[in-house]
Structure 1
Amino acid sequence: MDYFFAVVAPLAVVIIGGCTVRSVKIISEENEALVERLGKFHRKLESGLNFINPILDTVVLEDTLSERVLELKPSQAITKDNVSLIIDAVLYWRVIELELAYYKVQDIEEALRKLVLTTLRSEIGEMDLQKTFYSRKDINKAMLRELDDVTDRWGVKVTRVEVQEITPTPKVIEAMELKRAAEFKKQADILEAEGTVRAMELLSTAIKSQSNSKDILQFLVAQRYVEANQKLSESPNAKIVFMGSEPLGSSMGELLNNSTISPPESNGSNSKSK
């Protein structure tokens, strides 16, 4: 009997002590834990000191209820006008029902990441490129509404969504720069053409007011001829054959003889004598 107590009593103390230690569970502040009994959900443990059955019960999860941040990797989306964009967003969320978050979704963070990306692409697809640049707040609000409808079933609350970056892809940026350069060139050509027309009008008016208009025209044509020859001569690879001034002079003489440049008419010159 003494031998029995000497062996069994210490062993019983060790077993009872071990069970007592295993039955005590201390849950940290802002945390909750899930307890399963024989493989099925049994109850939740709140923060503080808790006791469980060490033989039948198992703590399968302890997680925080505090707000968390989930960053999305830059991903591609397409606008309504078929422009590719690179989007980047941040999600703020918290668990409100740990049981649902653990049993309803296999990987809650991955599920949230895919849901946010799908919703964001859907919102971007309803807008054209220009609208996406100034509608970031509207996108955030719309995403928050749509995410709430889904995440409630997961025991999760999305508190805030922020779209950080909306950037066109490098190919789109290059195409936009080419388009902008073409528009600038078009505007410059239009302004240059308008300036040329205006200069021609002023020159025509000035020539008509002079009595020696033919001499002025001959001088201007000769000046243009000299400038054209000078530009041609500046080309390193050009083979230039200069034309004499006499054929040009005779040709321009015929042109000037055939053209009529009359001085400005006075107010009383409209009537002709018969």
Structure 2
Amino acid sequence: MESLIAALTLVVVGYIAGSVKIINEGNEGIVERLGQYRRSLKPGLNFVIPVFDTVLVETTREQVLDTDPQQAITRDNVPLTVDAVMYWKILDVQKAYYGVEDLESALTNLVVTALRGEIGQMDLRETVSGRNKINQALLHQLDEATESWGVKIMRVEVQEIAPSKTMLESLELERAAESKRKAAMSETESMVESIQRISRALQGQPNSQAVLQYLVAQKYVEANLKLSESDNSKIIFMDPKALTETIGELISTDQAELGNGNGNNL
């Protein structure tokens, strides 16, 4: 008899112990009874029916989802490498557990898709300078899309927006070419101004046109020698006849302007 009472006591104690479920702060639980959802458990002391009830625990703390670097293409067809971090938390454990099969995988795919779509609507300049705009657009899209999953998107931050290596090399070549073009234009303008000053100084002197032609030819040779010092430069020699005609037009124009000026002063 005593052994029976002891056995019953053990069964009762075991049943009570098995029915007690403590949920820690920052977590919530789901109770499934015979495979069906019954209720959610809040942090603290909870009671369930042993054997029949299964308890699944999910965290409700804020979590971080860091996506791997992804390839995206801007509106002007520039390939970029982009990376984003999303901060999120579960508000409704039931929806988060039953609404989608793999929550983190679904969130990752959603972030990547939204990020590529947002980048595709902007050109390169807008993308690089509009990081805050991208963050806000992603936050709005993702928060709305995950509402049915019981998830709240706290914030989204784009960490990296970088052109591909090939694009960086292409941009560097373009900048170098633009710099050389501006330098060549500046040198040409300086040479023209110098020739015009000399033309005015030689006004009325014999053989002035021959002197100017010699000076221009000398400048032309010096410029080509400078270009030849660069390994990447392509030297294009001007037709001597065209050079002479250009000099003649420049001198004639300058002399005509001086003549008109002298006439006005009379």
TM-score normalized by the length of structure 1? 0.76
Equivalent position to 2:146, from 148, 151, 160: 151
Q: 1:177 aligns with which of 160, 169, 172?
A: 172
Shift of 1:180: 0.8
Q: CA RMSD in A?
A: 3.0
User: What does residue 12 of structure 1 align with?
Assistant: 8
Q: List aligned pairs for 1:160-239, cutoff 5 A.
A: 160-210=155-205, 213=208, 217=211, 224=218
Query: Would you say how many aligned residue pairs link Structure 1 and Structure 2?
Result: 232
CA-CA distance at 1:218 after TM superposition? 9.8
Alignment of 1:57-76 (within 5 A): 57-59=53-55, 61-76=56-71
Quick one: which of 99, 108, 115 aligns to 1:104? Answer: 99
1:100 alignment partner AA = K
TM-superposed CA distance for 1:204, in Å, is 2.0
Residue in structure 1 matching 2:109, options 114, 117, 123: 114
Confirm or deny: 8 A CA contact 2:199 2:212 kept in the other structure. Answer: no
Shift in Å, 1:46: 0.8
Deviations 1:231-258 (A, max 9, x none): 7xxx9xxxxxxxxxxxxxxxxxxxxxxx
Partners of 1:199 and 1:16 lie apart in 2 by 110
Structure 2, unmatched stretches of 5+, are 230-251
- Who is 1:249 aligned against? none
- Determine if contact 2:90/2:151 at 8 Å carries over to the other structure: yes
How far does residue 167 in structure 1 lie from its aligned partner after superposition? 1.1
State which structure, 1 or 2, has the greater radius of gyration over its C-alpha atoms.
1
Contact 2:99 2:149 survives alignment (8 Å): yes
CA contact (8 A) 2:28 2:93 kept: yes
Give 1:24 shift.
0.5
Given that residues 96 and 149 in structure 2 are in contact (C-alpha distance below 8 angstroms), is that contact kept between their aligned partners in structure 1?
yes
Q: For the structure 1 residues 74 and 219, does the alpha-carbon distance in structure 2 shift closer, same or farther, using more than 3 Å as the test? A: closer
Structure-2 separation of matches of 1:22 and 1:117? 44
Partner of 2:31: 35
How many angstroms apart in 2 are the aligned matches of 1:174 and 1:219? 42
- Correspondence for 2:19: 23
Matched position secondary structure for 2:202: helix
- The question of whether the paired residues in 1 share the 8 Å contact of 2:202 and 2:208 is answered with yes
Contact 2:195 2:212 survives alignment (8 Å): no
Matched, 1:52 2:48: yes
Q: What is the CA distance between 1:15 and its match in structure 2? A: 2.1
Q: 1:12 deviation in Å?
A: 2.2
Identity %: 43
Instruction: Give 1:217 shift.
Output: 2.6
How does the TM-score come out when normalised to structure 2? 0.78
CA deviations over 1:93-146 (Å, ceiling 9, x no partner):
110110111111111111111101100110110000001112111111111111
Shift of 1:55: 2.3
